[in-house]
Amino acid sequence: MQVVKYMFQPHGDDRGQLVALEEFKDIPFKIKRVYYMYDTVTDVRRGFHAHKALEQILICIHGSCKILLDNGHEKKVIPLEKPYEGLYVANNMWREMYDFSPDAVLLVLASELYDESDYIRNYDDFLAFVKASEEENK
């Protein structure tokens, strides 16, 4: 499984730091939706889904968390600990977010507007979707 972590360019001086993100320059898709998670309760896991078409960049802009990525064959855990690094999450990728620090804020940049029909919320359905996609691409 290929994991793509982006290191964004921080700009700063004695006043502080700034990171600017532009679609198709820093982000590999047109940004159609932005949301963030915060005040996540200790020991809570979030996510538990995949998308058929949507792509995302996850950035823990404050604090830290871990992301479990699963492509149906292999699983990897990626820590997000710096506000200038982002994790690219492709479509057809199961994801779970967990181990949030008490001060964590996880920002998500999405390639599509919210569409419930794009979600795969059952893990067995996800595995079947992966298998069907692989058969189709043979």
Average pLDDT, whole number, for the chain? 95
* CA 75 vs CA 44, 87, 109, 119, 121: distances in Å: 19, 15, 22, 19, 17
Residue 56, Cβ density class (10 Å: 0-12 exposed, 13-18 middle, ≥19 buried): buried
**Structural domain of residue 118, as residue ranges?**
4-136
User: Which has more pLDDT, 1 or 50?
Assistant: 50
DSSP letter assigned to residue 41: P
Give how many domains the chain has, as a whole number. 1
User: Where residue 121 sits, what CATH number does that domain have?
Assistant: 2.60.120.10
Residues near 121 by beta carbon (within 8 Å), at least 6 away in sequence: 48, 49
- Give me the pLDDT at residue 104, please: 97
Q: Judge whether 11 counts as a catalytic residue.
A: no
Bridge partners for 12 per DSSP:
17
Alpha-carbon separation of residue 55 from 13, 71, 86, 129 (angstroms): 33, 14, 13, 16
pTM for this prediction: 0.92
Contact predicate 75/68, CB 8 Å = yes
The active-site residue, picked from 49, 51, 62, 73, is 49
- pLDDT of 135 higher than 90: no
pLDDT attached to residue 137:
80
pLDDT for 1: 83
Mean pLDDT along residues 55-82: 97
Q: What is the pLDDT of residue 58?
A: 98
